[in-house]
């Protein structure tokens, strides 16, 4: 598949290192000059951007958190005067106030370029008719993909968020070949096709690029077969820019992070320690070219890993694994950090157990303890004690192996969780 910007996407790593250093130094000089928050930060750390020599020096700087962005709502962290900002978006609010993200003219142009890279990697070409079912609003996804698709030269249909009947009518009548949507919307679209008994062969879709929500391989297989498309994952993060930050190529070996515009680090979500290449942890991003709203070491809360090895597709940009969890969900028991998703993965692999469970944090004899209450399939309860005990032991053994934590496992009735309730719950009973 075409590489949109071969010069930048396939450059040797040593050239990329040089470019990253240049752009990082320039960004640090700009935020030091123009953003009081960062200047104060740097002074507290006795850090002078004029002494910044290598990417490793970045580790001397503190992280920037979402709470800090919210505390400077709305314009406190802008690096240019408002009159140079031509667009304002907000990032999705997880609880607190949304974060206002400004773009200069150049930011918007860069955004279009990077979104074009991601769409090209996903298989979109200038001959495509691209239906964008992301909401065009204050959240950036609709606009970001729109710029990218236009840059490629495709025919863009901004359907935005609409009823599935309407999306379908457009897809069929306008002969859309590409669907850009959150994966949950793509699923609703596929469901609608099924309900209406419409054969996907009567549509013209061939590619889907889905982003902004976590989605896994099972949903990919489902969407690919039900819509008869190739589905690619893209990484979007509103605080940093929106879509265009990273995207999957045809190799499906991770999402290429646009490292000439964003510097990625992987840190231990609990200690903040920078982890070696290949380790899974929290993605921390520093913007290298953003003008209006630069971010230094922003903790994304997204769990992934980075692989700097060159890809078979020819791109030299590092690949991040598909985001598999959020640090918001991280649980700590006796100094061991893990995520409900890891437990779900263990349970999915075992026959008889369901990936529906409660993680109960308890305290016994002054010790924190994890109890996993696993729902079992109907048949299991009639299988007798021995079979049940085997399952309990197996879950315990695998949790010990993979999380390094001894947990107490109990099997519970499949009707324990109320219908519609989240299949995974964490309760603190300490």
Partner 1 sequence: MLKVRNLEAGYGPLKVLRQVSLHVSAGEIVTLIGANGAGKSTLLRALSGLLAPRGGEVLFDGASIRGLPAERVVGLGIALVPEGRQVFAAMSVEENLVLGGYVAARRGRDGEGTARALDQIYGLFPILRERCAQLAGTLSGGEQQMLAMGRALMTDPRLLMMDEPSMGLAPLVVRDIFRAVQRLREEGRTVLLVEQNARAALRIADRGYVIETGRLVLEGEAGFLLRDREVQRAYLGKGYRDVWE
**Residues in the chain, total:** 430
Question: Counting contacts by CB under 8 A, is residue 351 touching partner 1?
Answer: no
Q: How far is the CB of 19 from partner 1 (least distance, A)?
A: 7
- For residue 61, the minimal CB distance to partner 1 (Å) is 15
**How far apart are alpha carbons 419 and 10 in whole angstroms?**
49
- Is position 59 an interface residue for partner 1 (rule: CB under 8 A)? no
Is residue 142 classed as helix, strand or coil in its secondary structure? helix
Q: Are 308 and 13 in contact (CB under 8 A)?
A: yes
Residue 249 CA, distance from chain mean position: 16
In whole angstroms, how close is the CB of 167 to partner 1 at the nearest point? Answer: 36
Closest to partner 1 by CB, 290 vs 356, is 290
Q: Which of residues 2, 6, 12, 18 is near partner 1 by CB under 8 A?
A: 18
Cis peptide before 116 (omega within 30 of 0): no
| Contact between residue 165 and residue 211 where contact means Cβ atoms under 8 Å apart | no
**Shortest Cβ 283–partner 1 spacing (Å):** 24
Query: Residue 10, interface with partner 1 (CB under 8 A)?
Result: no
CA distance 239 to 232: 22
Which residues 94-133 are close enough to bind partner 1 by CB under 8 A?
A: 104-106, 109-110
Of 24-32, 131-139, 153-161, 325-333, the segment contacting partner 1 by CB under 8 A is: 24-32
Among 2, 6, 12, 22, binds partner 1 (CB under 8 A): 22
Query: Nearer to partner 1 by C-beta: 28 or 223?
Result: 28
User: CB-based contacts of 330: which residues, under 8 Å, 6+ apart?
Assistant: 269, 270, 337, 338, 339
Which burial class, exposed, middle or buried, applies to 308 when counting CB atoms under 10 A from its CB (0-12, 13-18, 19+)?
middle
Kindly tell me which of 151 and 220 has the beta carbon lying closer to partner 1: 151
Nearer Cβ to partner 1 (83/386)? 83
What Rg, from alpha-carbon coordinates, does the chain have?
Answer: 23
Stretch that binds partner 1, among 29-37, 147-155, 171-179, 215-223 (CB under 8 A): 29-37
CB of 12 to partner 1, least distance (A): 11
Please pick, from the candidates 2, 6, 29, 195, the single residue that binds partner 1 as defined by CB under 8 A.
29
Q: Under DSSP, is residue 32 helix (H, G, I), strand (E, B) or coil?
A: helix
Q: Which of residues 266-305 bind partner 1 (CB under 8 A)?
A: 289, 291
DSSP state for residue 72 in the 8-state scheme: T
For partner 1, the closer of residues 25 and 160 by Cβ is 25
Binding of partner 1 by 49 (CB under 8 A) = yes
Cα distance from N-terminal residue to C-terminal residue, the chain: 54
Q: What are phi and psi of 321, to 5 degrees?
A: -65, 155
The strand pair at 336-338 and 331-333 is best described as antiparallel
Binder to partner 1 among 3, 80, 345, 350 (CB under 8 A)?
80
CA angle 29, 260, 120 (to 5 degrees): 145
Q: Of the listed pieces 43-51, 58-66, 322-330, 332-340, which binds partner 1 according to CB under 8 A?
A: 43-51
Handedness of CA 80, 83, 86, 87 (dihedral sign): positive
d(CA 184, CA 181): 8
Question: Of these, 4, 52, 78, 339, which contacts partner 1 (CB under 8 A)?
Answer: 52
CB of 55 to partner 1, least distance (A): 11
Specify the residue, 31 or 181, whose C-beta has the smaller distance to partner 1.
31
Question: Which positions touch partner 1 (CB under 8 A)?
Answer: 15, 18-19, 21-23, 25-26, 29-30, 33, 49-54, 80, 84, 104-106, 109-110, 289, 291
């Amino acid at each position: 598949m075409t590489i949109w910007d071969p010069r930048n996407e396939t450059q040797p790593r040593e050239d990329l290192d040089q470019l990253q250093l240049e752009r990082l130094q320039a960004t640090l000089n700009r935020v030091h000059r123009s953003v009081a928050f960062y200047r104060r930060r740097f002074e507290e750390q006795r850090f002078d951007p004029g002494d910044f020599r290598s990417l490793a020096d970045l580790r001397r700087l503190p992280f920037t958190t979402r709470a800090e962005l919210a505390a400077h709502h709305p314009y406190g962290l802008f690096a240019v005067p408002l009159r140079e900002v031509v667009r304002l978006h907000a990032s999705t609010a997880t609880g607190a106030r949304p974060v206002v993200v400004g773009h200069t003219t150049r930011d918007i142009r860069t955004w279009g370029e990077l979104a074009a890279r991601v769409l090209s990697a996903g298989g979109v070409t200038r001959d495509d008719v691209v239906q964008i079912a992301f909401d065009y609003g204050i959240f950036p996804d609709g606009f970001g993909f729109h710029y990218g698709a236009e840059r490629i030269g495709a025919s863009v249909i901004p359907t935005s968020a609409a009823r599935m009947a309407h999306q379908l009518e457009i897809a069929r009548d306008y002969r859309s070949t590409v669907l850009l949507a959150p994966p949950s919307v793509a699923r609703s679209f596929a469901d609608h096709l099924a309900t209406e008994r419409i054969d996907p062969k009567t549509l013209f879709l061939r590619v889907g690029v889905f982003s902004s929500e976590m989605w896994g391989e099972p949903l990919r297989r489902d969407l690919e077969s039900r819509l008869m498309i190739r589905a690619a994952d893209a990484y979007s993060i509103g605080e940093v820019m929106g879509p265009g930050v990273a995207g999957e190529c045809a190799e499906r070996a991770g999402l290429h992070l646009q490292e000439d515009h964003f510097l990625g680090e992987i840190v231990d979500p609990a200690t903040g320690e920078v982890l070696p290449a290949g380790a899974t942890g929290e993605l921390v991003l520093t913007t290298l070219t953003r003008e209006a709203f630069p971010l230094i070491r922003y903790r994304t809360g997204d769990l992934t890993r980075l692989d700097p090895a060159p890809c078979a597709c020819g791109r030299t940009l590092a690949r991040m694994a598909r985001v598999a969890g959020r640090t918001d969900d991280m649980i700590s028991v006796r100094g061991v950090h893990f995520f409900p998703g890891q437990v779900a993965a263990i349970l999915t692999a075992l026959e008889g157990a369901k990936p529906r469970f409660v993680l109960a944090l308890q305290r016994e004899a002054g010790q924190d303890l994890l109890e996993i209450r696993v729902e079992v399939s109907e048949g299991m309860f009639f299988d007798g004690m021995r079979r049940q005990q085997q399952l309990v032991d197996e879950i315990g053994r695998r949790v010990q192996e993979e999380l390094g934590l001894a947990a107490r496992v109990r099997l519970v009735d499949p009707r324990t969780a109320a219908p519609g309730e989240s299949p995974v719950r964490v309760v603190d009973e300490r």
